[in-house]
Chains A and B, each alone.
Chain A
Amino acid sequence: MLQRVWTIARWTMVELLRERVLYVVLLFAAVLVGGSTVLTPLTPGAQKKVVVDLGLAAIDALGILVILLSGTSIVRRDMDRRSLDVLLTKPLTRLEYLGGKWLGLVATLLVLTVAMSVILITSLEACGFGWQARYLPAILGSGLGMLVMASIAVLFSTFTSPMLGALFTLALFVGGSLSEGMLRTVGAAGGNPLLESLSLAIPNMGLFNLRGDAVHGTGVVPGQFLVASCYAVLYVATALTLAATVFRRRDFR
Protein backbone atom coordinates (compact mmCIF):
# COMPACT_ATOMS: atom_id res chain seq x y z
CA MET A 1 0.00 0.00 0.00
CA LEU A 2 2.73 2.44 1.04
CA GLN A 3 4.61 1.68 -2.15
CA ARG A 4 1.58 2.61 -4.25
CA VAL A 5 0.93 5.80 -2.28
CA TRP A 6 4.58 6.76 -2.58
CA THR A 7 4.57 6.18 -6.35
CA ILE A 8 1.57 8.48 -6.78
CA ALA A 9 3.17 11.05 -4.46
CA ARG A 10 6.46 11.06 -6.37
CA TRP A 11 4.66 11.35 -9.66
CA THR A 12 2.52 14.24 -8.34
CA MET A 13 5.55 16.05 -6.98
CA VAL A 14 7.41 15.80 -10.28
CA GLU A 15 4.30 17.04 -12.05
CA LEU A 16 3.96 20.04 -9.73
CA LEU A 17 7.63 20.91 -10.02
CA ARG A 18 7.33 20.75 -13.81
CA GLU A 19 4.59 23.36 -13.49
CA ARG A 20 7.34 25.70 -12.29
CA VAL A 21 5.90 25.93 -8.78
CA LEU A 22 9.44 26.65 -7.62
CA TYR A 23 9.11 30.12 -9.11
CA VAL A 24 7.31 30.88 -5.87
CA VAL A 25 10.72 30.75 -4.20
CA LEU A 26 11.91 33.53 -6.49
CA LEU A 27 8.78 35.49 -5.64
CA PHE A 28 9.55 34.98 -1.95
CA ALA A 29 13.10 36.21 -2.43
CA ALA A 30 11.79 39.27 -4.28
CA VAL A 31 9.21 39.98 -1.57
CA LEU A 32 11.77 39.60 1.19
CA VAL A 33 14.57 41.58 -0.42
CA GLY A 34 12.23 44.24 -1.83
CA GLY A 35 10.21 44.49 1.36
CA SER A 36 13.28 44.67 3.55
CA THR A 37 14.88 47.34 1.39
CA VAL A 38 11.78 49.52 1.19
CA LEU A 39 10.21 48.95 4.60
CA THR A 40 13.10 48.77 7.06
CA PRO A 41 14.21 52.40 6.65
CA LEU A 42 10.65 53.39 7.62
CA THR A 43 10.76 51.52 10.91
CA PRO A 44 13.81 52.73 12.79
CA GLY A 45 14.58 50.49 15.74
CA ALA A 46 12.35 47.66 14.60
CA GLN A 47 14.03 46.62 11.34
CA LYS A 48 14.74 43.09 12.46
CA LYS A 49 11.14 42.54 13.53
CA VAL A 50 9.90 43.80 10.18
CA VAL A 51 12.14 41.45 8.19
CA VAL A 52 11.24 38.45 10.37
CA ASP A 53 7.50 39.27 10.32
CA LEU A 54 7.57 39.73 6.58
CA GLY A 55 9.58 36.55 5.99
CA LEU A 56 7.45 34.32 8.21
CA ALA A 57 4.19 35.75 6.84
CA ALA A 58 5.41 35.34 3.25
CA ILE A 59 6.41 31.69 3.83
CA ASP A 60 2.90 30.99 5.10
CA ALA A 61 1.02 33.05 2.50
CA LEU A 62 2.98 31.72 -0.47
CA GLY A 63 2.47 28.15 0.72
CA ILE A 64 -1.28 28.79 0.81
CA LEU A 65 -1.05 30.40 -2.64
CA VAL A 66 0.56 27.26 -4.08
CA ILE A 67 -2.18 25.14 -2.51
CA LEU A 68 -4.85 27.38 -4.05
CA LEU A 69 -3.27 27.44 -7.49
CA SER A 70 -1.98 23.88 -7.81
CA GLY A 71 -3.62 21.83 -5.08
CA THR A 72 -7.18 22.49 -6.11
CA SER A 73 -6.62 21.11 -9.63
CA ILE A 74 -4.63 18.12 -8.51
CA VAL A 75 -7.32 15.51 -9.30
CA ARG A 76 -9.03 17.39 -12.10
CA ARG A 77 -5.77 17.39 -14.09
CA ASP A 78 -5.72 13.57 -14.06
CA MET A 79 -9.37 13.47 -15.05
CA ASP A 80 -8.87 15.85 -17.97
CA ARG A 81 -5.86 13.94 -19.25
CA ARG A 82 -7.67 10.64 -18.78
CA SER A 83 -4.69 9.31 -16.85
CA LEU A 84 -7.05 8.72 -13.93
CA ASP A 85 -8.98 6.12 -15.97
CA VAL A 86 -5.77 4.16 -16.48
CA LEU A 87 -4.75 4.52 -12.85
CA LEU A 88 -8.05 3.28 -11.48
CA THR A 89 -7.83 0.09 -13.50
CA LYS A 90 -4.72 -0.78 -11.46
CA PRO A 91 -4.93 -2.36 -8.01
CA LEU A 92 -5.12 1.04 -6.34
CA THR A 93 -7.85 2.17 -3.96
CA ARG A 94 -9.21 5.68 -4.26
CA LEU A 95 -8.00 6.52 -0.76
CA GLU A 96 -4.48 5.43 -1.76
CA TYR A 97 -4.72 7.57 -4.86
CA LEU A 98 -5.87 10.64 -2.93
CA GLY A 99 -3.37 9.99 -0.15
CA GLY A 100 -0.61 9.88 -2.75
CA LYS A 101 -1.84 13.08 -4.35
CA TRP A 102 -1.92 14.81 -0.97
CA LEU A 103 1.52 13.49 -0.06
CA GLY A 104 2.93 14.72 -3.38
CA LEU A 105 1.51 18.17 -2.78
CA VAL A 106 2.86 18.16 0.78
CA ALA A 107 6.32 17.07 -0.44
CA THR A 108 6.32 19.96 -2.93
CA LEU A 109 5.30 22.37 -0.16
CA LEU A 110 8.07 20.96 2.01
CA VAL A 111 10.65 21.68 -0.69
CA LEU A 112 9.26 25.19 -1.11
CA THR A 113 9.17 25.89 2.63
CA VAL A 114 12.72 24.66 3.13
CA ALA A 115 13.94 26.78 0.21
CA MET A 116 12.12 29.87 1.50
CA SER A 117 13.43 29.29 5.03
CA VAL A 118 16.99 29.06 3.71
CA ILE A 119 16.48 32.40 1.91
CA LEU A 120 15.07 33.95 5.11
CA ILE A 121 18.01 32.67 7.16
CA THR A 122 20.48 33.93 4.55
CA SER A 123 18.91 37.36 4.33
CA LEU A 124 18.73 37.71 8.13
CA GLU A 125 22.39 36.79 8.40
CA ALA A 126 23.32 39.06 5.49
CA CYS A 127 21.50 42.02 7.09
CA GLY A 128 23.35 41.36 10.34
CA PHE A 129 20.14 40.56 12.26
CA GLY A 130 20.99 36.92 12.81
CA TRP A 131 18.77 33.87 12.62
CA GLN A 132 17.41 32.57 15.90
CA ALA A 133 16.20 29.05 16.61
CA ARG A 134 13.04 30.46 18.19
CA TYR A 135 11.72 31.29 14.68
CA LEU A 136 11.63 27.60 13.77
CA PRO A 137 8.34 26.74 15.57
CA ALA A 138 6.64 29.49 13.54
CA ILE A 139 7.72 27.81 10.29
CA LEU A 140 6.73 24.38 11.61
CA GLY A 141 3.34 25.84 12.60
CA SER A 142 2.89 27.21 9.09
CA GLY A 143 3.84 23.77 7.77
CA LEU A 144 1.11 22.15 9.86
CA GLY A 145 -1.39 24.69 8.53
CA MET A 146 -0.31 23.85 4.99
CA LEU A 147 -0.88 20.12 5.62
CA VAL A 148 -4.45 20.89 6.62
CA MET A 149 -5.12 23.29 3.75
CA ALA A 150 -3.60 20.80 1.29
CA SER A 151 -6.04 18.12 2.46
CA ILE A 152 -8.94 20.56 1.99
CA ALA A 153 -7.71 21.39 -1.51
CA VAL A 154 -7.55 17.68 -2.37
CA LEU A 155 -11.07 17.23 -0.97
CA PHE A 156 -12.48 20.01 -3.17
CA SER A 157 -10.53 18.87 -6.21
CA THR A 158 -12.45 15.56 -6.13
CA PHE A 159 -15.82 17.13 -6.89
CA THR A 160 -15.47 20.72 -8.11
CA SER A 161 -13.67 22.63 -10.81
CA PRO A 162 -10.24 24.08 -9.94
CA MET A 163 -11.72 27.59 -9.88
CA LEU A 164 -14.50 26.69 -7.45
CA GLY A 165 -12.14 24.51 -5.45
CA ALA A 166 -9.73 27.43 -5.05
CA LEU A 167 -12.59 29.68 -3.98
CA PHE A 168 -13.90 27.18 -1.41
CA THR A 169 -10.42 26.48 -0.09
CA LEU A 170 -9.74 30.20 0.21
CA ALA A 171 -13.08 30.68 1.97
CA LEU A 172 -12.17 27.98 4.50
CA PHE A 173 -8.73 29.48 5.00
CA VAL A 174 -10.21 32.93 5.62
CA GLY A 175 -12.95 31.48 7.83
CA GLY A 176 -10.41 29.42 9.75
CA SER A 177 -8.18 32.44 10.27
CA LEU A 178 -11.09 34.55 11.47
CA SER A 179 -12.95 31.95 13.50
CA GLU A 180 -11.22 32.67 16.82
CA GLY A 181 -11.81 36.42 16.61
CA MET A 182 -15.39 35.91 15.48
CA LEU A 183 -16.12 33.51 18.31
CA ARG A 184 -14.63 35.96 20.78
CA THR A 185 -16.84 38.73 19.40
CA VAL A 186 -19.94 36.53 19.35
CA GLY A 187 -19.08 35.12 22.79
CA ALA A 188 -18.92 38.63 24.18
CA ALA A 189 -22.41 39.21 22.82
CA GLY A 190 -23.86 36.14 24.52
CA GLY A 191 -22.75 33.39 22.11
CA ASN A 192 -24.28 31.74 19.07
CA PRO A 193 -24.51 27.91 19.11
CA LEU A 194 -24.82 27.68 15.31
CA LEU A 195 -21.68 29.70 14.72
CA GLU A 196 -19.84 27.78 17.41
CA SER A 197 -20.75 24.44 15.79
CA LEU A 198 -19.74 25.76 12.38
CA SER A 199 -16.38 26.86 13.72
CA LEU A 200 -15.61 23.24 14.65
CA ALA A 201 -15.97 22.19 11.01
CA ILE A 202 -13.66 24.81 9.56
CA PRO A 203 -9.93 24.51 10.24
CA ASN A 204 -8.74 26.51 13.23
CA MET A 205 -5.84 28.24 11.52
CA GLY A 206 -5.12 30.32 14.62
CA LEU A 207 -3.81 27.15 16.26
CA PHE A 208 -1.00 26.95 13.69
CA ASN A 209 -0.09 30.61 13.94
CA LEU A 210 2.95 30.65 16.20
CA ARG A 211 4.56 33.65 14.52
CA GLY A 212 3.81 36.12 17.32
CA ASP A 213 5.45 33.96 19.99
CA ALA A 214 8.43 33.32 17.74
CA VAL A 215 9.02 36.95 16.83
CA HIS A 216 8.65 38.29 20.36
CA GLY A 217 10.67 35.48 21.88
CA THR A 218 7.99 34.50 24.36
CA GLY A 219 8.49 30.89 23.31
CA VAL A 220 6.01 28.32 22.15
CA VAL A 221 4.58 26.09 24.84
CA PRO A 222 5.34 22.46 23.83
CA GLY A 223 1.76 21.50 24.69
CA GLN A 224 0.49 24.05 22.18
CA PHE A 225 2.58 22.51 19.42
CA LEU A 226 1.47 19.01 20.40
CA VAL A 227 -2.20 20.00 20.31
CA ALA A 228 -1.69 21.70 16.92
CA SER A 229 0.05 18.58 15.54
CA CYS A 230 -2.67 16.21 16.78
CA TYR A 231 -5.36 18.52 15.42
CA ALA A 232 -3.61 18.68 12.03
CA VAL A 233 -3.28 14.88 11.81
CA LEU A 234 -6.95 14.37 12.72
CA TYR A 235 -8.15 17.07 10.35
CA VAL A 236 -6.09 15.72 7.45
CA ALA A 237 -7.31 12.16 8.13
CA THR A 238 -10.93 13.35 8.21
CA ALA A 239 -10.62 15.48 5.08
CA LEU A 240 -8.91 12.71 3.08
CA THR A 241 -11.40 10.08 4.23
CA LEU A 242 -14.24 12.40 3.24
CA ALA A 243 -12.52 13.03 -0.08
CA ALA A 244 -12.20 9.28 -0.68
CA THR A 245 -15.88 8.78 0.17
CA VAL A 246 -16.93 11.48 -2.31
CA PHE A 247 -14.47 10.21 -4.90
CA ARG A 248 -15.70 6.63 -4.56
CA ARG A 249 -19.20 7.77 -5.52
CA ARG A 250 -17.97 9.36 -8.71
CA ASP A 251 -18.50 7.49 -11.96
CA PHE A 252 -15.70 7.97 -14.46
CA ARG A 253 -17.20 5.98 -17.34
Chain B
Amino acid sequence: MTRHVSLFVLPILLVATAVAGRAGQAQVRARPKRAVAALPGIPFLEFTALGYREAAADLAWMQAVQYYGQHRQGGNDLSEFGHFLEAVNTLDPRYEHAYVLGAVVLATDGGDLDAALEVLRRGARANPESGTCAFEMGFLSYVIGNDADKAMRYFALAEQDAEQQERAHRFRAFLSRRLGRLETAYLLWQDLYKSTESPSLRIVAQESMRRIEDELRQRGQVVP
Protein backbone atom coordinates (compact mmCIF):
# COMPACT_ATOMS: atom_id res chain seq x y z
CA MET B 1 0.00 0.00 0.00
CA THR B 2 2.74 2.44 1.07
CA ARG B 3 4.70 1.52 -2.04
CA HIS B 4 1.76 2.35 -4.28
CA VAL B 5 1.28 5.67 -2.53
CA SER B 6 4.94 6.62 -2.98
CA LEU B 7 4.79 5.59 -6.65
CA PHE B 8 1.92 7.99 -7.03
CA VAL B 9 3.30 10.78 -4.86
CA LEU B 10 6.90 10.73 -6.11
CA PRO B 11 6.19 11.87 -9.70
CA ILE B 12 3.93 14.63 -8.36
CA LEU B 13 6.69 15.81 -6.03
CA LEU B 14 9.26 15.68 -8.82
CA VAL B 15 7.08 17.71 -11.16
CA ALA B 16 6.20 20.20 -8.40
CA THR B 17 9.88 20.66 -7.52
CA ALA B 18 10.77 21.18 -11.18
CA VAL B 19 7.99 23.76 -11.57
CA ALA B 20 9.11 25.58 -8.43
CA GLY B 21 12.70 25.51 -9.63
CA ARG B 22 11.64 26.93 -12.98
CA ALA B 23 9.68 29.70 -11.26
CA GLY B 24 12.73 30.45 -9.11
CA GLN B 25 14.94 30.68 -12.19
CA ALA B 26 12.52 33.11 -13.80
CA GLN B 27 12.48 35.22 -10.66
CA VAL B 28 16.28 35.35 -10.51
CA ARG B 29 16.45 36.35 -14.17
CA ALA B 30 13.86 39.08 -13.63
CA ARG B 31 16.05 40.79 -11.02
CA PRO B 32 17.74 43.96 -12.24
CA LYS B 33 21.22 43.24 -13.55
CA ARG B 34 23.93 44.17 -11.14
CA ALA B 35 27.64 44.30 -11.54
CA VAL B 36 29.40 40.95 -11.21
CA ALA B 37 29.47 40.18 -7.48
CA ALA B 38 32.04 42.51 -6.01
CA LEU B 39 35.12 40.91 -4.54
CA PRO B 40 35.64 41.15 -0.79
CA GLY B 41 38.53 43.11 0.69
CA ILE B 42 41.99 41.99 -0.39
CA PRO B 43 43.33 41.04 3.09
CA PHE B 44 40.21 38.89 3.55
CA LEU B 45 40.80 37.21 0.22
CA GLU B 46 44.42 36.53 1.14
CA PHE B 47 43.33 34.74 4.30
CA THR B 48 40.45 32.79 2.82
CA ALA B 49 42.54 31.56 -0.10
CA LEU B 50 44.55 29.51 2.45
CA GLY B 51 47.44 28.04 0.51
CA TYR B 52 45.58 28.02 -2.80
CA ARG B 53 46.45 31.56 -3.80
CA GLU B 54 47.20 30.82 -7.45
CA ALA B 55 43.87 29.06 -7.97
CA ALA B 56 42.11 31.87 -6.09
CA ALA B 57 43.85 34.41 -8.32
CA ASP B 58 42.54 32.54 -11.37
CA LEU B 59 39.00 32.78 -10.01
CA ALA B 60 39.43 36.48 -9.20
CA TRP B 61 40.80 37.05 -12.70
CA MET B 62 37.76 35.34 -14.17
CA GLN B 63 35.57 37.70 -12.16
CA ALA B 64 37.60 40.61 -13.52
CA VAL B 65 37.18 39.36 -17.09
CA GLN B 66 33.43 38.97 -16.56
CA TYR B 67 33.26 42.44 -15.06
CA TYR B 68 35.04 43.80 -18.11
CA GLY B 69 32.70 41.86 -20.40
CA GLN B 70 29.76 43.39 -18.60
CA HIS B 71 31.30 46.83 -19.11
CA ARG B 72 31.56 46.17 -22.84
CA GLN B 73 27.83 45.47 -22.84
CA GLY B 74 27.14 48.71 -20.99
CA GLY B 75 26.57 47.09 -17.60
CA ASN B 76 29.11 49.04 -15.52
CA ASP B 77 31.50 51.97 -15.66
CA LEU B 78 34.63 49.90 -14.99
CA SER B 79 35.16 51.72 -11.69
CA GLU B 80 35.73 48.45 -9.78
CA PHE B 81 38.16 47.00 -12.29
CA GLY B 82 41.22 48.33 -10.46
CA HIS B 83 40.09 46.53 -7.31
CA PHE B 84 39.64 43.24 -9.18
CA LEU B 85 43.07 43.65 -10.67
CA GLU B 86 44.69 44.45 -7.34
CA ALA B 87 43.08 41.35 -5.85
CA VAL B 88 44.51 39.16 -8.62
CA ASN B 89 47.93 40.80 -8.34
CA THR B 90 48.00 40.41 -4.57
CA LEU B 91 46.95 36.75 -4.63
CA ASP B 92 49.41 35.84 -7.37
CA PRO B 93 51.99 38.58 -7.89
CA ARG B 94 53.71 36.61 -10.65
CA TYR B 95 50.59 36.32 -12.83
CA GLU B 96 51.97 38.56 -15.60
CA HIS B 97 49.12 37.97 -17.99
CA ALA B 98 46.75 39.74 -15.57
CA TYR B 99 49.01 42.81 -15.30
CA VAL B 100 49.30 43.12 -19.06
CA LEU B 101 45.66 42.58 -19.96
CA GLY B 102 44.47 44.61 -16.98
CA ALA B 103 46.69 47.53 -17.95
CA VAL B 104 45.44 47.44 -21.53
CA VAL B 105 41.84 47.58 -20.28
CA LEU B 106 42.61 50.47 -17.92
CA ALA B 107 44.46 52.40 -20.63
CA THR B 108 41.98 51.85 -23.45
CA ASP B 109 38.47 51.38 -22.05
CA GLY B 110 39.23 53.12 -18.76
CA GLY B 111 41.14 55.94 -20.42
CA ASP B 112 43.54 56.03 -17.48
CA LEU B 113 47.07 55.57 -18.77
CA ASP B 114 48.66 56.50 -15.44
CA ALA B 115 46.72 53.77 -13.63
CA ALA B 116 47.67 51.30 -16.36
CA LEU B 117 51.35 52.19 -16.07
CA GLU B 118 51.13 51.88 -12.28
CA VAL B 119 49.71 48.35 -12.65
CA LEU B 120 52.55 47.43 -14.99
CA ARG B 121 55.11 48.98 -12.65
CA ARG B 122 53.69 46.76 -9.92
CA GLY B 123 54.06 43.80 -12.27
CA ALA B 124 57.64 44.71 -13.14
CA ARG B 125 58.53 44.96 -9.45
CA ALA B 126 56.99 41.55 -8.74
CA ASN B 127 58.71 39.97 -11.76
CA PRO B 128 62.11 41.65 -11.93
CA GLU B 129 63.58 39.00 -14.21
CA SER B 130 60.91 39.48 -16.87
CA GLY B 131 60.66 42.27 -19.42
CA THR B 132 57.01 41.64 -20.30
CA CYS B 133 55.61 44.48 -18.19
CA ALA B 134 58.35 46.89 -19.28
CA PHE B 135 57.56 46.11 -22.92
CA GLU B 136 53.87 46.73 -22.34
CA MET B 137 54.68 50.02 -20.59
CA GLY B 138 56.61 51.08 -23.68
CA PHE B 139 53.84 49.96 -25.97
CA LEU B 140 51.10 51.80 -24.06
CA SER B 141 53.26 54.90 -23.58
CA TYR B 142 53.65 55.14 -27.34
CA VAL B 143 50.26 53.95 -28.60
CA ILE B 144 48.05 55.59 -25.96
CA GLY B 145 50.31 58.26 -24.47
CA ASN B 146 51.99 59.18 -27.75
CA ASP B 147 55.25 59.57 -25.84
CA ALA B 148 57.89 57.96 -27.99
CA ASP B 149 60.83 59.00 -25.79
CA LYS B 150 59.33 57.39 -22.74
CA ALA B 151 58.42 54.32 -24.78
CA MET B 152 62.02 54.02 -25.97
CA ARG B 153 63.24 53.94 -22.38
CA TYR B 154 60.79 51.17 -21.47
CA PHE B 155 61.71 49.14 -24.56
CA ALA B 156 65.39 49.46 -23.67
CA LEU B 157 64.51 48.09 -20.24
CA ALA B 158 62.48 45.24 -21.74
CA GLU B 159 65.41 44.29 -23.96
CA GLN B 160 67.30 43.07 -20.91
CA ASP B 161 65.00 40.06 -20.89
CA ALA B 162 66.04 37.59 -23.59
CA GLU B 163 62.42 36.68 -24.28
CA GLN B 164 61.46 40.28 -25.03
CA GLN B 165 64.75 41.27 -26.67
CA GLU B 166 63.78 40.87 -30.30
CA ARG B 167 60.42 42.60 -30.29
CA ALA B 168 61.60 45.38 -27.95
CA HIS B 169 64.60 45.94 -30.22
CA ARG B 170 62.31 46.09 -33.22
CA PHE B 171 60.05 48.65 -31.56
CA ARG B 172 63.08 50.72 -30.58
CA ALA B 173 64.31 50.71 -34.16
CA PHE B 174 60.86 51.68 -35.41
CA LEU B 175 60.51 54.53 -32.90
CA SER B 176 64.03 55.85 -33.54
CA ARG B 177 63.09 56.37 -37.15
CA ARG B 178 59.82 58.02 -36.13
CA LEU B 179 61.78 60.39 -33.90
CA GLY B 180 64.08 61.22 -36.79
CA ARG B 181 67.10 59.50 -35.25
CA LEU B 182 67.95 57.80 -38.48
CA GLU B 183 71.46 56.68 -37.62
CA THR B 184 70.30 55.02 -34.41
CA ALA B 185 67.38 53.44 -36.24
CA TYR B 186 69.70 52.13 -38.97
CA LEU B 187 72.09 50.60 -36.43
CA LEU B 188 69.24 49.01 -34.48
CA TRP B 189 67.76 47.45 -37.63
CA GLN B 190 71.20 46.29 -38.67
CA ASP B 191 71.70 44.71 -35.28
CA LEU B 192 68.34 42.97 -35.58
CA TYR B 193 69.15 41.81 -39.11
CA LYS B 194 72.31 40.15 -37.87
CA SER B 195 70.86 38.62 -34.72
CA THR B 196 67.40 37.40 -35.71
CA GLU B 197 66.69 33.83 -36.70
CA SER B 198 63.38 34.76 -38.27
CA PRO B 199 63.60 35.01 -42.08
CA SER B 200 60.57 37.31 -42.26
CA LEU B 201 62.01 39.68 -39.67
CA ARG B 202 65.29 39.70 -41.57
CA ILE B 203 63.39 40.84 -44.66
CA VAL B 204 61.65 43.59 -42.63
CA ALA B 205 65.00 44.71 -41.20
CA GLN B 206 66.60 44.75 -44.65
CA GLU B 207 63.74 46.76 -46.11
CA SER B 208 63.84 49.24 -43.21
CA MET B 209 67.61 49.67 -43.60
CA ARG B 210 67.16 50.34 -47.32
CA ARG B 211 64.54 53.03 -46.63
CA ILE B 212 66.69 54.69 -43.98
CA GLU B 213 69.66 54.64 -46.36
CA ASP B 214 67.51 56.49 -48.94
CA GLU B 215 66.40 59.03 -46.34
CA LEU B 216 69.97 59.58 -45.17
CA ARG B 217 71.18 60.09 -48.74
CA GLN B 218 68.36 62.59 -49.36
CA ARG B 219 69.52 64.51 -46.32
CA GLY B 220 73.07 64.33 -47.55
CA GLN B 221 74.19 62.25 -44.59
CA VAL B 222 76.48 59.26 -44.60
CA VAL B 223 75.13 55.78 -43.98
CA PRO B 224 76.72 54.53 -40.76
Contacts and interface: CB of A to CB of B under 8 A. Distances in A.
A206 B43 CA distance: 17
Contact of B94 (A174, A181, A206, A212): A212
A88 B60 CA distance: 52
A89 interface: no
B51 A209 contact: yes
Given A39-B62, A43-B62, A206 B51 contact: yes
Contacts of A61: 52
A197 interface: no
Of A43, A209, A218, most B-chain CB atoms within 10 Å: A43
A57 B54 contact: yes
B83 interface: no
Interface in A168-217: 173-174, 177-178, 181, 185, 205-206, 208-209, 211-212, 215-216
A107 interface: no
Interface in B162-184: none
Contact of A205 (B51, B55, B94): B51
A42 interface: yes
A43 B61 contact: yes
A101 B224 CA distance: 78
A43 B95 CA distance: 12
B221 interface: no
A39 B58 contact: yes
B46 A49 contact: no
Given A43-B61, A45-B101, A46-B97, A211 B47 contact: no
A54 B51 contact: no
Contacts of A57: 52, 54-55
B58 A178 contact: no
Nearest to B46: A181
B36 to A, nearest CB: 11
Q: How large is the interface on B (under 10, 10 to 19, 20 to 34, 35 or more residues)?
A: 20 to 34
A249 to B, nearest CB: 34
Interface in B46-76: 46-47, 50-55, 57-58, 61-62, 65-66
B86 interface: no
A46 B66 CA distance: 15
Given A43-B61, A60-B52, 11 more contacts: A39-B58, A49-B54, A49-B95, A54-B55, A57-B55, A178-B50, A181-B46, A181-B47, A205-B51, A211-B54, A218-B94
A42 B51 contact: no
22 contacts: A39-B62, A42-B62, A42-B65, A44-B65, A45-B97, A45-B101, A46-B95, A46-B97, A49-B54, A49-B58, A49-B95, A49-B97, A50-B58, A54-B55, A56-B55, A57-B55, A61-B52, A173-B50, A205-B50, A211-B52, A212-B53, A218-B94
Interface of B: 43, 46-47, 50-55, 57-58, 61-62, 65-66, 92, 94-95, 97-98, 101
A53 interface: yes
A232 B50 CA distance: 19
Interface of A: 39, 42-46, 49-50, 53-54, 56-57, 60-61, 173-174, 177-178, 181, 185, 205-206, 208-209, 211-212, 215-216, 218
Please name the 4 residue pairs, one residue from A and one from B, whose CB atoms are nearest each other, closest first.
Answer: A57-B55, A177-B50, A216-B94, A209-B51
A131 B169 CA distance: 32
B97 A53 contact: no
B58 A60 contact: no
Nearest to B66: A42
A60 B65 contact: no
Contacts of B98: 46
A61 B52 CA distance: 9
A212 B54 contact: yes
A177 B53 CA distance: 11
Contact of B58 (A45, A46, A181, A208): A46
A44 B203 CA distance: 31
A218 B129 CA distance: 10
A47 to B, nearest CB: 10
Contacts of B55: 53-54, 56-57
B65 A178 contact: no
Contacts of A211: 51-52, 54
